Amino acid sequence: LKSNSFQFFIFSRTKTPRKPVLKKSSNTSLKDPVGVYCRVRPLSAQDQECCIEVISETTVQIHPPDGYRIFRNGEYREMQYTFKEVFGTLVTQKALFDVVARPLVEDLIRGKNGLLFTYGVTGSGKTHTMTGSPGDGGLLPRCLDMIFNSIGPFQAKRFVFKVDDKNGVDVQCEVDALLERQKRDAIPIPKTPSGKRQIDPEFADMISVRDHCKVEEVEEDNVYSVFVSYIEIYNNYIYDLLEEIPFDPIKPNLAVCQLDLNHALCRPPQSKVLREDQNHNMYVIGCTEVEVKSTEEAFEVFWRGQKKRRIANTQLNRESSRSHSVFMIKLAQAPLDADGDNVLQEREQITLSQLSLVDLAGSERTNRTKAEGNRLREAGNINQSLMTLRTCIEVLRENQMYGTNKMVPYRDSKLTHLFKNYFDGEGKVRMIVCVNPKAEDYEESLQVMRFAEMTQEVEVARPVDKPLFGLTPGHPRGLDLDSPGIEQSVAEMLLQNFPPLPSCELLDVNDDQTLPRLIEVLEKRHRMRQMLSEEFTKNVLAFKTMLQEFDSSIVSKENYAQGKLTEKEKVIAGQKMEIERLEKKTKTLEYKIEILEKTTTIYEEDKRNLQQELESKSQKLQRQASDKRRLEARLQGMVTETTMKWEKECTAPPVRLRHRRSRSAGERWVDHKPPSNVPTETVMQPHVPHAITVAAANEKALAKCDKYMLTHQELASDGEIETKLIKGDVYRTRGGGQAVQFTDIETLKQESPTGRKRRSSPSSPTPPEDAAESEWTDVETRCSVAVEMRAGSNLGPGYQHHAQPKRRKP
């Protein structure tokens, strides 16, 4: 009994171990892939064309509709995508919750973090999956219901846990918590005439149906408290949906007054900033965290924030969410003291876990939504944040599959920056891909399927099981050693060692044995009791001494361990600072290397372009030099030829002057008689001695003679043939050719002595002689002009015509 009591007492004083700090370098061997599930919503009309078909529990098949079919070898392609599980159009909210969200709630109560988000095109059922409909709650109300069903009997009183501004939780003493509760109770709460608190009828139906599911194994020696917060990410700004906006009486907005008198003097909400706490978890500074004690209260807080969320009408959905909403459930738990009455006032004993439920805004093309103005800017920011999420997933996948160390661009978007610790730290990540099987969403659904299938290849570190020690099992609120039950059990155990009492019945007045025997037994029992009391006192003193020694040893060991821990913490802090400095330096060097690589690429491209340009210019210069050489040779030849021509012209004899015919005896003539020339057979015929007779102008003949004579025949006015001898002088030109200058014309004419002229009458037949004479009318010789032949010229032979006016001799 003594040893058992001592063992129990020591165990009840054991402290819960400090919550381990999540480190980026966790055990890489224990990793789980991101769980991706697919949910197909039913078509809104029976006659709509469908492009997605569920073919198994894990596979969907998507085929292009008639307007988008891509033919390959005469058949269109059908793509299949595999997920962890596929939910068809007939799946219930409860079945979806049991598979996807229930394990996350169980991990939350065991001190582990979780992230669940819905992703898909506008109108694919994301908000319905997360929130639900009247009478059939979605994942969010079912998660809240399971949490409070599990921890309901073990919840701490309100304000025992108090959140701070650094993403942590403190434990208040009972007095401070009582004061906080009194302040809260002093605030009037609107009630109905029956005295009950008002409940918004819009969400009352969503939480009316309960399945009463809960976690079976809950640490009963801990107390729990739930805090909820609700934010939205709109146009890459973070807004607190639970923030109570104060009144501003200085600058009232009259336009707003006409729309809503209750919010007439409210200032516009201010965007929030992200920070990283000491455990490397991202949180929103100044975000409102409300402590809730029931499912109704938690969902009422959610509904109050839901009314402030940005919702706008688009062409695809009548009530389309234009922002990403994040509903965070934070669970704080801490052990009780040895008596089981109060929470241990030590911050290290508190275990925090968080479950984030994210409803992403729909992704779609702006040309389908017909967005303009603010709607167009919203769509651009939504698509940009989803693209950043996709980029982060791609980089994470590449780093894990190929061992690279590329920087994940979490900071490019508030959405990815907020969930950085889920992918870099520990926890479970689950994604539900919602798709609409209608044909109009084929292209967007195809992109969603590809992204979801790629996300399954990213692995996240598995959360470590955290031991949560409290009191001894079976004693949820401690064991009271001073209770009557304990005393009775101890007394019974002691009485078993005492001698039994003899019979005390007196049957005879003279009986003198019964009383002495009774007195003897009582004396023995008294002595035995004194001995046990003395032994018990000694044992108590020894036990106290042992406890003191044990406490002193524990204190000394704690002091020693604390000193060592402080030293180690200082060393670790210095190493962390050095690591952070080296990481920053590494990132800076990587950035510089990337810049230098890009600069080198640009310079190499410029170098190649300049080399190509230089080669083309060199070839052009070579061609120009070759053309120049050829032109110089040609010009040199022309100069040489021109020089020779001028020399010839300068050495040529001068042009001879005209001489009278009487002086022409002995000179050589060119007798040019055309083939059409007809001899007249007269007595007087021209006779030129030493003449060269030609039928056409001949350069060789002109070069050998000094005189030129052309015989020309034509019909005179009286019908007789008239012969003309056209004479001229031949001289050399400066170009090296010959020219003829006509000097005189001699006319030879045959006449009848009787003076009668031959005439031809059309009425009388023409005699043969007259017919012969009439043929002479067609005889015509053409005068050839003198030709100047420029021999040896590169421009070819040129011609000059020199003619003198016809002159008759008297």
Residues in the chain: 810
Give how far the C-alpha of residue 714 lies from the chain's centroid of Cα atoms, to the nearest Å.
101
User: Do residues 417 and 284 touch, judged by C-beta distance below 8 A?
Assistant: no
Q: Which residues contact 689 (CB under 8 A, 6 or more apart)?
A: none
| Token code pair at residue 239 | 């807004």
Nearest CA-CA partner of 87 in 139, 143, 142, 32: 139
Asked if residue 124 belongs to a known ligand binding site, the reply is: yes
Asked if residue 126 belongs to a known ligand binding site, the reply is: yes
Q: Which contiguous run of DSSP H or E holds residue 163? A: strand 161-163
Q: Which residues contact 357 (CB under 8 A, 6 or more apart)?
A: 116, 117, 130, 139, 140, 143, 326, 327, 328, 329
Asked if residue 127 belongs to a known ligand binding site, the reply is: yes
**Amino acid, single-letter form, for residue 625:** A
User: Do residues 284 and 232 touch, judged by C-beta distance below 8 A?
Assistant: no
Q: Which contiguous run of DSSP H or E holds residue 610? A: helix 514-651
Q: What is the dihedral of CA 511, 513, 519, 522, to 10 degrees?
A: -120
Q: Please give the Cα distance from 531 to 548 (Å, whole number).
A: 25
Q: Which contiguous run of DSSP H or E holds residue 81? A: strand 79-82
- Rg of the chain, C-alpha, whole Å: 61
| Token code pair at residue 291 | 């402590």
Q: Please give the Cα distance from 524 to 515 (Å, whole number).
A: 14
Q: Please give the Cα distance from 475 to 220 (Å, whole number).
A: 9
Phi, psi dihedrals of residue 212, rounded to the nearest 5°: 55, 35
Q: What is the dihedral of CA 339, 345, 349, 354, to 10 degrees?
A: 110
Q: Please give the Cα distance from 362 to 441 (Å, whole number).
A: 12
Asked if residue 122 belongs to a known ligand binding site, the reply is: yes
> What one-character-per-residue DSSP string does 425-474 give?
SBSEEEEEEEE--BGGGHHHHHHHHHHHHHHTT-EEEPPPPPP---S-TT
> What one-character-per-residue DSSP string does 729-778 give?
EEEE-TTS-EEEEEEEEEEEE---TT-PPP---SSSPPPHHHHHHHHGGG
Give how far the C-alpha of residue 262 lies from the chain's centroid of Cα atoms, to the nearest Å.
42
Tokens 């044995």 label which residue? 513
Strands (E), 218-279: 222-234, 237-240, 274-276
Per-residue burial over 561-583, b if 16 or more Cβ lie within 10 Å, else e, is eeeeeeeeeeeeeeeeeeeeeee
Q: Which residues contact 715 (CB under 8 A, 6 or more apart)?
A: 721, 722, 776, 777, 779
Which parts are annotated binding residues? 120-127
Which parts are annotated binding residues for ATP? 120-127
